[in-house]
Structure 1
Amino acid sequence: MTITFLHTADIHLGKTYRNNIGEAERYEDFFRMLGRIVSDAIAERVDFVLIAGDLFHTGQILPRTFARTIETLQSLKDNRIPCIAVEGNHDWIHRRDSISWMEALSQMGYIHLLRPSRTETGGYRFDPFDYEQGMGGYIEVNGINIYGLGYIGTQAGTHVPRICEAVTTKNNILLFHVGVWTYSPVEIGNMKPEEAHPLADAFDYVALGHGHKPYIIATPEGRPYAFNPGSPECVNFGEEKYDKGYYLVTVEDGVFTHEFRPTSPRPMLVTTIDLDGAADAEAALVRFRDQVAAKIASFSDDRQPLLEIKLTGRVGFHPFELGRERLRLALEEICNPLHVEIKNHLSLVTAGGGAESEKKSLAEIEREVLRELVSAKSEYKDQEDELVRLSLAIRDQVLKGEVDGEELLGLLVSYHEGTKSTKETA
């Protein structure tokens, strides 16, 4: 019997740029991508679809996002294709006394949410999926046993022996929202390759999520066993350099064969524009237009692009003369971007010239002020770099207008878990 399934992850429904002219269009990008994946699953007549976490961008979503999700997943339900999912760190709801949107989808039959139970001794128990309750630790589809484990934090690697001990069946898949060093591009929520390898003895295919970059993990003997498809749409700036897609997997006579199916995310450009030596703002603006136009010329996609531009160089005018509005108007003439983020790292050079007369950039001043504030508290000594990065990350997210309280709390929780892990290791 031949079985096929589709493995995707990190869809991030609900992601957008709030209070931005392109907010509605960017919001639709992620639903269009999920819709294409659903259509492909139906066209391929797969036996089931796996979503390895982060279906949503935040745990607290808008009702319209929930409604659009149901609308998009309806075709899978109509075609009797089970959609099996686990929760990622973005799906996770911090107030556990409330039902999550993932649980609601599972109770309504649009997904089958997998979540194991824990024993009194700290072990794992994977109960069979209860269709009435919409919950369980594993589900069987056409002779394949699919186990599920969502995001469990920075200590995931230490849980692997207990996960494997709880598995008693054959023909197994593990759906797991976790990264693996050094393949995963994210810094938090990973395990070491040697910690992951025992999973290959209990599971024929480990369906990963979390990092938005595709990669494959093999045993020391060279057998591939764990697969991360990455996110099918570019979620954050910097992902434009990653392949984007999902896996179509065929199982025949117990042999798993994977095929990476590429998707078409919205075009994204992250670039540095060098304005070094520009004497005045007008000359700098001409160079800015020329450099951006040359980079945009390589795009074959006619959709409005997403741009992150960093301005660098020592210039003879105050950096504020190249304000965001002035640069935005110039960009509209070139490519009419859907969303732009500009990082002004220009440094002002006085008339005397030379390195000794160079003034610090705004970014350098920000970092120095934050470091001094952190260093003023003795209990935070030796944590200055981490706390400065965290502070700037929170600042950037708030300025982008795309983050809510749950995400900010998630950043703080992730930092706390990371520092706790470091202390425990030490």
Structure 2
Amino acid sequence: MPRFLHIADIHLGFDRYDNKVRTQDFFYTLMDVVERYAIREALPSGIAPQVDFVLIAGDLFEHRNLQPHILNQAQAVLSLLKDAGIPVLAIEGNHDNRPYGVNTSWLRYLSDWEMLYLLEPGDVAQGEPFYSPWDAERKRGGYIDLPCGVRVLGSSWYGSTAPKAIEQIAASIGELPPAPGPTVLLFHHGLEGQIARYQGALRYSDLLPLKQAGVDYLALGHIHKNYEIEGWVFNPGSLEANSIDEARFERGAYVVDIDPDGIRAELKRDYRQRPIVRLRQSLRGSETVEEVEQTAIALVQQAISLGQLQPDAQPIVELRLEGEVGFERTELDVRSLQQQLQSLSNALIFLLKFEADVLTFASPLGEEASRDQVEREVFLDLLTANSAYKNRAPALAQGLIDLKNRQLEGRPEPDLYELVQSLLTSESSERRD
């Protein structure tokens, strides 16, 4: 009974947060998945490996151009599989495919060095057949018939032309000699309805020609969320979350068994992943800057006490401050607060998203309002919108008007200073009370 591991969207070299430790996470995650579900229990005992082969359905790498240590990471994992006698079959995704007009890629390099099999359709425009069997000498081919009795076919990254490519793939499958057993197709594209704001997604009906052509297992990649459809379309999702938003997605690695009774694909999620914690605080507009800071600290402390946030695990934490605030946004030192919260939570990465709007007031005034009335209401609106001054807004507004009038009267600076000092003294006294 054939068994294989289906993974996708590994993204070695991920660098979105400019954090070297986070970049290493993607390597350690891949290594753990391979050891745990493919070879860990096989090698010491000398028995056959846990799986017959491994599928990588695109985006092994984050970038087309690699730093040497990222290539070394890929080679380290692939060497383990090679030493265990487990073939790796891969296709390029949109992140690691060769640029237009370029004849090679890093996946092609790994294939030439017999670290994996890069399954690619031929160039029909140059007279090549669309699907040729794997040629071990040339290290080229579009499909391979494995000793376990499974035929695996590759494909390319097609982007918006995917529906037409599917028709060509299905027609080409029909021209091949009979498969020795089940047929698996690697395809890097996503289906509509799985995630929001995804342009160019395929409809399920677009895939049906593949099923009619005899594909038993469609191994997808591209969308970082796990889903499966009708018992033959499977997308494991990314091994690690590529963003905070992706933390809510179920994702993992498929261990798949194919027997006469059908396909059994089990999503494995029990492997090394860095925890991601998302916190949210709604502000009402009445808090001072100090109260907002204290609220944020208390929220993180509560998450720790409840076990939702575990400092020992060095999680990635996001805190969103939403709602309204009664002070200018620049009054909150976001950078300083973020550093304090990162230290408190021992987070590898702490993202503080200050998304609250400034509370505004606009007093209704009729067209007959005098200049003095308009002026007073402007001062009141500005003061009321600030949590530090709103309780004394009428008195302070009158004080500002008095200050303006004294200035216009040409009063000496000591008189102006005396008025300001009296307003500040009165405010401090009321705060102490």
Moved over 6 A (4+): 121-124, 351-354
Aligned match of 1:38: 34
Q: Aligned Cα RMSD in Å? A: 2.7
The alpha-carbon deviation at position 349 of structure 1 amounts to: 2.7
What SS is found at the alignment partner of 1:331? helix
Alignment partner of 1:181 is 2:188? no
Aligned residue pairs total: 349
- Given residue 340 of structure 2, which amino acid in structure 1 is its aligned partner? A
TM-score under structure 2 length normalisation: 0.74
Does the CA-based 8 Å contact 1:186-1:211 persist in structure 2? Answer: no
| d(CA) in 2 for partners of 1:134, 1:308 | 46
Does the CA-based 8 Å contact 1:185-1:213 persist in structure 2? Answer: no
The alpha-carbon deviation at position 123 of structure 1 amounts to: 10
What SS is found at the alignment partner of 1:93? coil
Aligned counterpart in structure 2 of residue 63 of structure 1, from 46, 54, 68: 68
Alignment partner of 1:285 is 2:293? yes
Aligned counterpart in structure 2 of residue 208 of structure 1, from 220, 236, 244: 220
| d(CA) in 2 for partners of 1:47, 1:252 | 14
- Given residue 278 of structure 2, which amino acid in structure 1 is its aligned partner? V
Does the CA-based 8 Å contact 1:184-1:190 persist in structure 2? Answer: no
The alpha-carbon deviation at position 165 of structure 1 amounts to: 0.8
Does the CA-based 8 Å contact 1:244-1:265 persist in structure 2? Answer: no
What SS is found at the alignment partner of 1:128? coil
Aligned match of 2:400: none
Of 37-46 and 61-70, deviating more is 37-46
| d(CA) in 1 for partners of 2:348, 2:199 | 30
Whose Rg is larger?
2
Does the CA-based 8 Å contact 2:338-2:352 persist in structure 1? Answer: no
| d(CA) in 2 for partners of 1:111, 1:289 | 49
Change in 2 beyond 3 A, CA 1:122/1:130: closer
| d(CA) in 2 for partners of 1:98, 1:264 | 36
The alpha-carbon deviation at position 187 of structure 1 amounts to: 0.7
Aligned match of 1:13: 12
| d(CA) in 1 for partners of 2:30, 2:272 | 12
Aligned counterpart in structure 1 of residue 130 of structure 2, from 103, 118, 125: 125
| d(CA) in 2 for partners of 1:184, 1:162 | 27
Matches within 5 A, 1:4-403: 4-17=3-16, 19=18, 23-39=19-35, 40-42=37-39, 43=41, 45-94=50-99, 96-97=101-102, 99-120=104-125, 125-142=130-147, 143-167=149-173, 168=176, 169-170=178-179, 171-184=182-195, 187-201=198-212, 202-218=214-230, 224-253=231-260, 255-262=262-269, 263-295=271-303, 297-299=306-308, 302-349=312-359
Q: What are the Cα deviations for residues 103-147 of structure 1, in whole angstroms up to 9, with x where unaligned?
A: 111111111111112424999711112233333111111221100
| d(CA) in 2 for partners of 1:235, 1:108 | 29
| d(CA) in 2 for partners of 1:122, 1:198 | 24
TM-score under structure 1 length normalisation: 0.75
Q: Which has the higher strand share?
A: 1
Q: What are the Cα deviations for residues 192-234 of structure 1, in whole angstroms up to 9, with x where unaligned?
A: 011112222220111000001100011xxxxx11100001111
Of 183-192 and 148-157, deviating more is 183-192
Of 231-240 and 127-136, deviating more is 127-136
Change in 2 beyond 3 A, CA 1:288/1:82: same
- Given residue 326 of structure 2, which amino acid in structure 1 is its aligned partner? G
| d(CA) in 1 for partners of 2:363, 2:246 | 38
Long gaps (5+) in structure 2: 42-48, 365-377, 383-433
Does the CA-based 8 Å contact 1:124-1:162 persist in structure 2? Answer: no
| d(CA) in 2 for partners of 1:313, 1:353 | 21
Change in 2 beyond 3 A, CA 1:186/1:127: farther
- Given residue 106 of structure 1, which amino acid in structure 2 is its aligned partner? S
The alpha-carbon deviation at position 285 of structure 1 amounts to: 0.5
